[in-house]
Amino acid sequence: MLLGAGRLLCSDRRRPGSAHEAFFREVWRELPAVRRVFGNSPWRGHRRSARRTPGSAMEPCAEPPLFTFGVIADVQYADIDDGANYTRTRARYYRNSVRLLRRACRAWSEEDVRPRFVLQLGDVIDGHNVKHGASERALETVLRELDGCPAEVHHVWGNHEFYNFSRDALLASALNSARLGDGRLARPGDMYVYHFSPAPCFRLVVLDAYDVSIIGRDETSEKYEEAASIMKEHNSNPDLNHPPGNHDNCPLMSFSQCRHNCSFFFSVHTVTHGLEQRFVKFNGGFSQDQLQWLDEVLSLADTNQEKVIVVSHLPVHPSSTDPICLAWNHSTVLSILHSHSCVVCFIAGHDHDGGYHQDELGLHYLTLEGVIETPPHSDAYGTVYVYKDHMFLKGRGRIEDRVLRYPDHVNG
Ligand SMILES: Nc1ncnc2c1ncn2[C@@H]1O[C@H](COP(=O)(O)OP(=O)(O)O)[C@@H](O)[C@H]1O
């Protein structure tokens, strides 16, 4: 059965829009064995196939957008020679990343419609700065570039922010953009969360994915205790950055690295090692307080009939990312998003390969390709054009164009 299902899942037949897609969705939904084998991501290999509006394939609509905003993720700047990721499967261009950031800021400045804001999705400088005592200098370098942006910058915090700075230092730094937030339903406690309305009927919510984490919390804090106990339950490796399960000997690992072409192997690898891989120290989760706050903000947005974009460094939908990059309690966040009628999109960084998924309710999950793993001749940033009934992501370089039509229950 595995081979048969594998052939089917490998084939173009499950490609969104194909004549067989509905059949495969049905099989996947109805047969627990298939779901067990292929996990939550049987369409993942097709995550780059955006739905496009006929006639508007690669350009925004002719009509003026309500507003636009810039997006960029995982700059991870450091003044060091090029290197590689942990598994040495991807190059990292530490110095060049700030050049790409500069290019993005310049391009946003030259656009016909000036972006209303820029969204920096976290990991703006790399953890390597710490051992060179260069954290402050690196931050100054990227902030200087961001000063060239034509609009205010909203910063999300990722794991590399916490490698470089304590939470208190971050709260006191220019990376704290919560002052740009709406005063209503102010953030509780010491979480870095806020929301703002960039235009009438739209709202953006910034989440803190390291609220409960080993790296984002002081060791004496309750939230650190909570994170430590979650990790103890799920990951028994001496090095907590090493995901649970033995991947080193997994013959599928090399195939699963090549996720765009080998979705079958990726799916099997995911099942073999499962979503448990997310329980690593470089990820984190959302506290109960934060989830309650999110629920309240979304309720207010429902009442005001706003369209909401939620953002965090960590992705929350398993089909929009490698599971090793998922937020620990991603499924609770998904339940909250689903319990409100206002949410149209979730945007994250962290998985430098990027990802995309549209779920059964029509919500979009966008994971942006990281600047740090983008070769010098390419780019990794985008501009989102926001319209009444959809958004259009104009991607540059590695980031693909996408039409993100709002869910039917939002468009009415
Ligand atoms: N599979 C792994 N096993 C052990 N340590 C890892 C693994 N993957 C990453 N790390 C370590 O975790 C930290 C964060 O990894 P990194 O790849 O820099 O994160 P990011 O994806 O946010 O750039 C680094 O110190 C890295 O060496």
- Tell whether the model's pLDDT for residue 162 goes beyond 50: yes
The complex's ipTM works out to 0.98
d(CA 4, CA 37): 12
Spacing of C-alpha 47 from chain mean position:
14
- Contacts (Cβ under 8 Å, ≥6 apart) of 59: 394
In ligand 1, the atom with minimum distance to the C-alpha of 352 is 21
**Cβ-contact 31, 346 below 8 angstroms:** no
Residues 71-77 have a mean pLDDT of 99
Question: Ligand 1 test: best mutation among 282, 326, 352, 373, most atoms within 8 Å of CB?
Answer: 282
Q: Which of 127, 121, 120, 132 is nearest to 162 (CA)?
A: 127
User: Which residue in the block uniquely carries the two structure tokens 């102010």?
Assistant: 186
- Does any ligand 1 atom lie closer than 6 A to the CB of residue 282? yes
CATH class, domain 67-214+281-411, is alpha beta
pTM of the model: 0.85
* pLDDT digits 0-9 by tens, 138-149: 999 999 999 999
User: Which residue in the block uniquely carries the two structure tokens 């090493």?
Assistant: 242
Distance 282 CA to ligand 1 centre (A): 7
pLDDT category at 82 given cuts 50, 70, 90 is: very high
d(CA 270, CA 67): 39
The phi and psi torsions of 72 (rounded to 5 degrees) equal -155, 145
Show the DSSP H helices in 253-400 as ranges: 253-257, 263-273, 288-303, 330-338
pLDDT of residue 109: 98
Identify the residue with better confidence: 296 or 274. Answer: 296
Q: Is the dihedral of CA 246, 252, 258, 261 positive or negative?
A: negative
- Does any ligand 1 atom lie closer than 6 A to the CB of residue 86? yes
Instruction: Give residue limits of the domains in the chain.
Output: 67-214+281-411
Question: Helix (H, G, I), strand (E, B), or coil: what is residue 382?
Answer: strand
Show the DSSP H helices in 147-210 as ranges: 159-164, 167-171
pLDDT category at 112 given cuts 50, 70, 90 is: very high
Distance 168 CA to ligand 1 centre (A): 23
- Tell whether the model's pLDDT for residue 298 goes beyond 60: yes
CA-nearest residue for atom 19, ligand 1, is 282
In ligand 1, the atom with minimum distance to the C-alpha of 325 is 21
Q: How are beta strands 91-92 and 364-367 bridged, if at all?
A: unpaired
Residues 33-56 have a mean pLDDT of 40
- Does any ligand 1 atom lie closer than 6 A to the CB of residue 239? yes
Spacing of C-alpha 39 from chain mean position:
20
First-to-final CA distance of the chain: 42
CA-nearest residue for atom 4, ligand 1, is 242
- Tell whether the model's pLDDT for residue 239 goes beyond 60: yes
- Does any ligand 1 atom lie closer than 6 A to the CB of residue 241? yes
